[in-house]
Structure 1
């Protein structure tokens, strides 16, 4: 794929319905991008893809770096990646998700109805994240998994936030709004961001993506039998 084209495997509504037993090898996903996020089989932990390296952030606080063997044998039931090349950069102090949303709207004023890829590097005065522990049984729905999520607070953490802004009309296909994951520079802490503030200015890179490639599961009984009814309220609640 070319730079700044979005590849996505499966859809958010499927994850909400508990479709997480099957997927594609993460090595195959990496053929489409080096910057992204997602989850793992049975929703065990949070995924971040940073500079082509995949990390699994687990609910017990561990961060696992997937080596070449694990990349070939580990699957993802839901993920989004791109070959990130920022088309707009800035240094800014960011106060919370709302502050980031306002900054992105200023940097990309004509991108309301497009996907954006985001990367932020620097020191964060506080970051509040969650990590999912995974399904207790096949087809357990994401809201139930989320009820057992683990939350962590990191103070004065140096690291990287990456993610995507998805337009509102794509809710259910992905997570509308800004979906962000964090990993520290020492690669020992991270998770799905619920709230954050930067410690002074941080480096922000953004790219607009107008090409979107969606691959749906095939020969997957869970996906074929899922209702896939949009639950926008539920997605907002679980994704923060």
Structure 2
């Protein structure tokens, strides 16, 4: 794939319907991108792909580097081969403040994807991590009802994620979707809220090309209704 093209395996609506027992090796995902996010088999933990390395952020707050990506499966992931087209420094007071910043940097990107990376010191980061399914085909709303939240203060690290246009809801998560990992690679998760400690480095690019592979030979996917559950997605994605 070329730089700044989205590659995605499966769809968010499949996770909502509990399609998470199978998937593809992480190595297949990394062949398409070096920057992104997703989850793992049975929705056990939050995925972040940073500089071509994949990390699993677990329910107990620990982080595991996926040293052998061919041996670990993902039922859903979104990545790109990231090459920023805009780089700036900014202080960010929260998710809404960052939304306004992105709107200003990309005023004509309402109906396109954006890929984002933030590096620096954060005054506060609130994340959640999911503990995985406890029964086959348990949906994401139920899985995330047992999520654990973690609060980090004065922590240096990186934020990775995407902004997806509204029409993509159900295929992916419409709006801003970010994961955080600390510089020491020991803490992280799906971002619920964050605030920077002064200015941080912001890198981003607009994306107009989207590639998607769907699961094959997967009974769960074939039998799932895959109806749009917009409110449920908004609830679990924060």
Q: TM-score range by the shorter chain?
A: over 0.9
Q: Which residue does 2:117 correspond to in 1?
A: 119
- Give the root-mean-square deviation of aligned CA atoms: 0.5
Q: Which residue does 2:36 correspond to in 1?
A: 36
Q: Which residue does 1:157 correspond to in 2?
A: 155
For 2:209 and 2:61, the matched residues in 1 are separated by 35
Q: Which residue does 2:71 correspond to in 1?
A: 73
Q: Secondary structure at the match of 2:198?
A: strand
* TM-score calculated relative to the size of structure 1: 0.99
For 1:230 and 1:114, the matched residues in 2 are separated by 20
For 1:173 and 1:58, the matched residues in 2 are separated by 24
Q: Deviations over 1:96-137 (max 9, x none)?
A: 110110000000001000000000000000000000000001
For 1:10 and 1:99, the matched residues in 2 are separated by 31
Please say if 1:212 is aligned against 2:202: no
Please say if 1:221 is aligned against 2:196: no
Q: Secondary structure at the match of 1:121?
A: strand
Question: What displacement does 1:148 show?
Answer: 0.3
Q: Deviations over 1:119-168 (max 9, x none)?
A: 00000000000000000011000000000000000000100001000000
State how 1:105-184 maps to structure 2 within 5 Å.
105-184=103-182
For 2:36 and 2:75, the matched residues in 1 are separated by 14
2:233 to 217, 224, 235: 235
* TM-score calculated relative to the size of structure 2: 0.99
For 1:138 and 1:47, the matched residues in 2 are separated by 21
For 2:87 and 2:156, the matched residues in 1 are separated by 19
Q: Which residue does 2:92 correspond to in 1?
A: 94
Give aligned pairs, total.
238
For 1:30 and 1:146, the matched residues in 2 are separated by 26
Question: Mind listing any 5+ residue stretches in structure 1 that lack a counterpart?
Answer: none
For 2:76 and 2:223, the matched residues in 1 are separated by 17
Question: Mind listing any 5+ residue stretches in structure 2 that lack a counterpart?
Answer: none
Question: What displacement does 1:42 show?
Answer: 0.0
For 1:55 and 1:102, the matched residues in 2 are separated by 29
For 1:47 and 1:180, the matched residues in 2 are separated by 11
Q: Which residue does 1:58 correspond to in 2?
A: 58
Question: What displacement does 1:75 show?
Answer: 0.6
**Which portions of structure 1, spanning 4 or more consecutive aligned residues, are displaced by more than 2 angstroms?**
none
Q: Deviations over 1:163-211 (max 9, x none)?
A: 0000000000000000000000000000000000000000000011111
Q: Which residue does 2:23 correspond to in 1?
A: 23
